Amino acid sequence: LCLSHALPGKSRGSGTSPMDCRCAETLACHAQAIPEEARASVQTAQPHTPLPPILTNLRNVQGNRRAFCKTMEAVDDALRATPGPFFLESGLSLVDLTFAPFLERIAASMVYYKGFVVRGQGRWPGIDAWFEAMEARDSYRGFKSDYYTHCHDLPPQLGGCTSERGSEEAAAAIDGGAWRLPLQPLAADYAYEAHSPGDDPERDALTAAARLVSNRAAVVPFALRGASQGARRTARAHLSDPGRPSAQDPDGAVDAALRCVAGALLSGTETAAAPVAPSEQAADTVRQSLSYMRDRICVPRDLPLPAARQLRAHLNWAINGLIMHGSA
């Protein structure tokens, strides 16, 4: 909201844009909202300072890792200094909300790019307890992201990320290797995905089906971008291609396949009809379209994590189970 009101540009003669003024006001209010006694620990525990170097280059790997661990230890010390799991003794506060996106991205990106598991190793018990306390809240689970989304939206923000040897297994799982039915439960000790206590496969599949059906008019042409032969105008994020045209679907095969996905989400894959393509060309269009859509489901923009996992896995079910007309 602050940015949308501030876009017109610089004020004449002042040299300062409205956006600069509004951002300064926001930061001032933010600083005032943090109690005086908490500011020192917050300043010393800022987790984002050593993150870019360890993610963006392969020079001084050990030094970058030591700097990263030192900062994480400062965060852990600040959390363990209070009797509860949060940064302030009074409970959940703006300090926790400030740290949430950084700690989320750290947990996701470190295992994806470096094979370094942050959570559940007993290394930083204060941080483990903080994650568990945050994830116990419905409000937090509703807006937190997943590892896949974090790992693919970070490179354009940081100017690129580099992977180290030993991260291949984690990267493969996060990039879709784990999107297979039956899905592994989201548990705190599962290193390749954010924890989401209370996930319920039937309810989560119903949520995904409802979102898919209610947005059918937009979903079908979006998926058909994947089969478009037009020029691809990419943005800095490699999965973003704004303005890419939609392919034609004269047989309605993509629409029909997405209906099969919705049916499988509602009734289960055991009884649901598999999608059928009338021709090899239509089959290619379906596979390309469903794959394109699967890889661009964003958490939490499109769905909460448990429901997004269900939709991604059921799209894979449809892709792998696609039947050519007359072959079954």
Rounded CA separation 130/120 (Å): 11
Q: Which residue type is seen at 10?
A: K
Residues 213 and 284 in one domain: yes
Q: What are phi and psi of 323, to 5 degrees?
A: -110, 135
Q: Burial level of 14, CB count in 10 A (0-12/13-18/19+)?
A: exposed
Number of helices followed by number of strands (H, E) in the chain: 15, 2
Q: What's the pLDDT score for residue 48?
A: 45
Residues 269 and 222 in one domain: yes
In a domain, 103, yes or no: yes
Query: Do residues 195 and 135 touch, judged by C-beta distance below 8 A?
Result: yes
In a domain, 37, yes or no: no
Q: Which one of 161, 177, 193 terminates a domain?
A: 177
In a domain, 295, yes or no: yes
Residues 54 and 159 in one domain: yes
Residues 19 and 127 in one domain: no
In a domain, 92, yes or no: yes
Q: What's the pLDDT score for residue 50?
A: 46
Q: Which domain holds residue 225?
A: 201-324
Q: Which residue type is seen at 298?
A: C
Query: Do residues 6 and 17 touch, judged by C-beta distance below 8 A?
Result: yes
Residues 93 and 15 in one domain: no
Q: 268 is written with which tokens?
A: 């289960």
Query: Do residues 152 and 237 touch, judged by C-beta distance below 8 A?
Result: yes
Residues 18 and 67 in one domain: no
Q: Which one of 143, 177, 211 terminates a domain?
A: 177
Q: Which residue bears the tokens 């809240």? A: 137
Q: Which one of 129, 161, 177 terminates a domain?
A: 177
Q: Which residue type is seen at 128?
A: D
Give the residue with greater pLDDT, 50 vs 205.
205
Q: Is the pLDDT of residue 219 over 90?
A: yes
CATH code of 207's domain: 1.10.490.20
Out of 51-55, 123-127, 315-319, which region has the weakest mean confidence (pLDDT)?
51-55
Q: What's the pLDDT score for residue 34?
A: 55
Residues 10 and 118 in one domain: no
DSSP-H helix ranges across 45-93: 51-56, 61-80
Q: What's the pLDDT score for residue 51?
A: 54
Rounded CA separation 309/316 (Å): 11
In a domain, 259, yes or no: yes
Rounded CA separation 328/326 (Å): 6
Q: What's the pLDDT score for residue 22?
A: 55
Query: What is the enclosing helix (H) or strand (E) of 214?
Result: helix 201-214
Q: Which residue bears the tokens 């300043």? A: 43
Report the percentage of the chain scoring pLDDT > 90.
59
In a domain, 169, yes or no: yes
CA dihedral 68, 71, 75, 78 (to 10 degrees): 160
pLDDT band at 7 (very low <50, low <70, confident <90, very high): very low
Query: Do residues 76 and 69 touch, judged by C-beta distance below 8 A?
Result: no
pLDDT band at 5 (very low <50, low <70, confident <90, very high): very low
Residues 311 and 225 in one domain: yes
What number is the average pLDDT over the span 220-239?
A: 80
Q: Which pTM value belongs to this model?
A: 0.81
pLDDT band at 171 (very low <50, low <70, confident <90, very high): very high
Residues 162 and 80 in one domain: yes
Q: Burial level of 18, CB count in 10 A (0-12/13-18/19+)?
A: middle
Query: Do residues 155 and 164 touch, judged by C-beta distance below 8 A?
Result: no
Q: Is the pLDDT of residue 245 over 60?
A: yes
pLDDT tens-digit series, residues 45-104: 454 444 556 776 677 788 888 889 999 999 999 999 999 999 999 999 999 999 999 999
Number of structural domains, the chain? 3
Query: Do residues 268 and 106 touch, judged by C-beta distance below 8 A?
Result: no
Residues 227 and 136 in one domain: no
Residues 12 and 105 in one domain: no
Residues 151 and 224 in one domain: no
Peptide bond into 300 cis (omega under 30): yes
Q: 303 is written with which tokens?
A: 């769905």
pLDDT tens-digit series, residues 247-280: 999 889 999 999 999 999 999 999 999 999 999 9
In a domain, 107, yes or no: yes
CATH code of 65's domain: 1.20.1050.10
In a domain, 279, yes or no: yes
In three-state secondary structure terms, 8 is coil
Q: Is the pLDDT of residue 180 over 60?
A: yes
Q: Chain-centre distance of CA 108, in angstroms?
A: 9
What number is the average pLDDT over the span 143-161?
A: 82
